[in-house]
Amino acid sequence: MPQDTVPLAGHPGDSIVPVILCGGTGSRLWPLSREGYPKQFWPLISAGTMLQETAARARGPGFAAPVVVCGEAHRFLVAEQLREAGIDGARIVLEPEARNSAAAIAAAAVLIGEETPGATLWIMAADAAVQDVPALRQALAIAAAAAGTGRIATFGIRPTMPETGYGYIEVGAPLPGVEGAQQIARFVEKPDAATAERFLQGGRHLWNSGMFVARAATLLAEIAAHAPEVLAAARGAVAEAVRDLGFVRLGPGFVSAPSVSIDTSVMERTQLAAVVPCEPGWSDVGSWSSLWDIAPKDGAGNATKGPVALLDAKRCFVRSEGILAAVIGLEDVVLVVTDDAVLACHRDRAQDVKRMVEKLKAAGQREATEHRRVYRPWGSYEGVALGTRFQVKKINVRPGGKLSLQKHYHRAEHWVVVAGTAMVERDGERILLRENESLYLPLGCVHRLENPGMIPLTLIEVQSGSYLGEDDIIRLEDTYGRV
Amino acid sequence: MPQDTVPLAGHPGDSIVPVILCGGTGSRLWPLSREGYPKQFWPLISAGTMLQETAARARGPGFAAPVVVCGEAHRFLVAEQLREAGIDGARIVLEPEARNSAAAIAAAAVLIGEETPGATLWIMAADAAVQDVPALRQALAIAAAAAGTGRIATFGIRPTMPETGYGYIEVGAPLPGVEGAQQIARFVEKPDAATAERFLQGGRHLWNSGMFVARAATLLAEIAAHAPEVLAAARGAVAEAVRDLGFVRLGPGFVSAPSVSIDTSVMERTQLAAVVPCEPGWSDVGSWSSLWDIAPKDGAGNATKGPVALLDAKRCFVRSEGILAAVIGLEDVVLVVTDDAVLACHRDRAQDVKRMVEKLKAAGQREATEHRRVYRPWGSYEGVALGTRFQVKKINVRPGGKLSLQKHYHRAEHWVVVAGTAMVERDGERILLRENESLYLPLGCVHRLENPGMIPLTLIEVQSGSYLGEDDIIRLEDTYGRV
């Protein structure tokens, strides 16, 4: 654990270690969120991405640097977004394969517990929204106090509407010795509309936010008791873990963990669960409809973002990433426009976006899972024009970024630098290209691109050849271990 | 008139001259149809564009080459689409400014009447759909016979639904001497829904299709009698007309014509109007809703075109020009997706698309009137990527096409040929560029691009500079008279 942290106000002892679960795919927020670049990496509410907002909520005096658990494919995205938000010292734990929340939490608890058995963990998803951070912090102090007495404390959100998309917690008696915390009578699955309405009126049911606070030792003991196979897999994975470029790469044993949620495998079984009722303006932002719920609206109930024009629209959610979106005479419709896919959906059917994504995936549509812009350790690229024998790409290389040393058998490339400076290696020769300079890379030449400068490099690549697939690339050497 | 035509079956005497009015903007079909490239130039129903389909309907034995009346801005589009469809010998009459149908028809009648006073004209809009061409041809033979007796014959379409978007013709007594034609009791403005329903049941009202057949001499006499100012302006414009690159460029006197429709200024006043009732499956395709009416549909009543995915959609019209469009749980919705604008509209509100376009125009949105792809006499170009100090364009030059000799003060250009062959003039030097070859054009150099080959040339242009507006172009010489 980093040494430069100070105790959280009101929390005696060690600082709190935020554990951010960052492995979701958010397919209900398609076409913005896709497997290749899911929900938690997008700015949905404010200027920061969901991950950045989440990390910022658990930062400052009293907090250790966060532990972020994510998939292999997103490791550079996580690192880059944390760096951009000024979050230092984070440990990024890579799952070889997603195994639901129990295994991810178990791995984090093992990792942290090995170093500091008494450490207190604050476990949270990377993709929820919180409007009142001070209220959340107050609840956290109570939860941490409960954790100090050996409890696993959840955050129970007081319902503001008869939501059927969340699980509920029925509160029990006050928790002795920890003011503001209560025992849990029982966990309740997602209710039907009538039950949800009853819960809202009754005042004894809270939304289960999926956030927890507990000591590492408590968590490990309870996982051992209720989900021993999960813990065994997590211990094996941490023992075999490889520290690599600042990442903690869990061992292959991780995939032997049963894919179960922490709720069903541990929380609903343990005797140690407690709940802290609170009203922090929390939402899991699980669908376009829930995003509409919390968005600012015009007089007719429309929430918009981006270049949007409305005529007699009512209670619509319209978001465009760039293309002009015009809506006439529609009510309760979600319209989301990206550069390669458009979704138009009744607001009551927002849950079915997931089904649409599955349908598109089954049909082999690239747009179901991948964006036009593709992220790489060194930056990103996107196709901007495609013909029968040519393709144009815009390539961004971050300062210090370095592509692999490579060659192609079926295409030649023309590079034009339009911003920044490029260092190009071509068949052993090193060439510096400045803005407005270009270079030709004949078919078969061995080449490498690098940004040696201090500002981002943007380059236009015109590919020409009989086959232009991404798989026509022979990697000879790679800084990021991709050879 | 061309000499290589033969009489229309059943029509004694001269061949019929098709007069195609091609000046509309079709703003109710936005975002596909825009001022810069309106409805009549798009394939809406079949593989051919509306103009091509219209011209094809009036082609073959019995027809002279068509006269097409259009705006200056669309002259090369008309020429290219006719050429592509194999329509030879067309005369393209250019209006210096749109002046509604009376003036356009008057100019065509003057032009044709000067050469062949007895010529029979078939006047039609370039943007209507006809499903049963033999039925239309049968009606045409009757209309031509009526025209031969000195009448102006309209085509009255038997209603198939209680349409409120069309004007109606109430039929009178049979026209003596011309079997199948009838006199006109009166013209009726667009009716309300109840009246339209009554018309549909009553069987005495027909849709006014806006197509006419008449001898040039008859038309000229009736326009002289009922709209003398229109005729005077048309005569002046033809007298001053300049024949230029195969176009008939009407003189500036044309703009003094009052902007009136042929219906209100002549047809509703003349004693010579007759109507030929017919059922050719005609539609003016005036809105997305009317396009839905005539489109083939799936079992749930959805009409789709392009990459579209539906889940529980009913009676929707969904069309995409390339971007994936997904619809969930919507009913009676129009969704039209182009590369830079999306329209989502209730099907009952299709008439209000025009209002949306006006609103966008007032807000200065380029997408209201211009497409991303811009057509020029030599071909077309489209922006594919835009940054702060760079821009990437895809340029297509048709065989024989030649851009102006030009220079730029604020940008340098990199050209990469990706298909075909380019002849480039750069500061007096002539350079032949083949596929996969590139050239640098420094800021201020005098240059010209030409396609000397037999296949289309495609070139990627990367512009780099501090100002990238289209107006940074000094034209020194131009084949198309644009200096």
Q: Give, for all 483 residues of chain B, the pLDDT tens digit.
A: 333 333 344 344 568 999 999 998 899 999 999 999 999 999 998 889 999 999 999 999 999 999 999 998 899 899 989 999 999 899 999 999 999 999 999 999 999 999 888 899 999 999 999 999 999 999 999 999 999 999 999 999 999 999 888 999 999 999 999 999 999 999 999 999 999 999 999 999 999 999 999 999 999 999 999 999 999 999 999 999 998 777 999 999 999 999 999 999 999 999 999 999 999 999 999 999 999 999 999 999 999 999 999 999 999 999 999 999 999 999 999 999 999 999 999 999 999 999 999 999 999 999 999 999 988 889 999 998 888 889 999 999 999 999 999 999 999 999 999 999 999 999 999 999 999 999 999 999 999 999 999 999 999 999 998 888 888 889 988 887 776
Work out the minimum CA distance from B64 to partner chain A, whole angstroms.
40
Cβ contact A172:A117 at 8 Å: no
- Please tell me which of the candidates A326, A388, A419 has its beta carbon nearest to residue B390: A419
Which of B277, B319, B48 lies closest to B143 in space, CA to CA?
A: B277
The per-residue pLDDT for range B204-233, each reduced to its tens digit, is: 999 999 999 999 999 999 999 999 999 999
pLDDT of A2 = 37
- Contact state of A348 with B329 under an 8 Å Cβ cutoff: yes
Across the interface, whether the CB atoms of B342 and A360 are under 8 A apart is answered no
Of B326, B333, B387, Cβ closest to residue A356: B326
- How much is the pLDDT for B386? 87
Tell me what pLDDT residue B14 has. Answer: 64
Q: Which of residues 440-459 of B touch A (CB under 8 A)?
A: 440, 458
Pairing of strands B168-174, B308-311: unpaired
B396 at the A interface (CB within 8 A)?
no
* Contact at CB, A309 and B462, closer than 8 angstroms: no
What is the ipTM for the molecules in this complex?
0.90
Q: In this predicted model, what pLDDT tens digit does every residue of A39-66 receive, in sequence order?
A: 999 999 888 999 999 999 999 999 999 9
Chains A, B: CB pairs < 8 Å: 188
Predicted local confidence at residue A14, as pLDDT: 64
Q: Which amino acid, B180? A: G
Of B327, B356, B414, the CB nearest to A416: B414
Using the beta-carbon criterion (under 8 Å), do B346 and A329 form an inter-chain contact?
yes
pLDDT of residue B38: 95
A330–B346 CB contact, under 8 Å: yes
What pLDDT shows up at residue B2? 37
Domains and CATH numbers, chain B: 16-283 (3.90.550.10), 296-366 (no CATH), 373-477 (2.60.120.10)
Instruction: Please list, in sequence order, all residues whose beta carbon lies within 8 angstroms of the beta carbon of residue A212, skipping any fewer than 6 positions away.
Output: A105, A121, A122, A123, A152, A153, A154, A155, A262, A267
The model's pLDDT over B321-364, given as tens digits with 9 standing for 90+, comes to 999 999 999 999 999 999 999 999 999 999 999 999 999 999 99
Q: Which residues of chain A have pLDDT under 70?
A: 1-14, 483
> What pLDDT score was predicted for residue A483?
66
Check residue A74 and report its DSSP letter: G
pLDDT of residue A70: 97
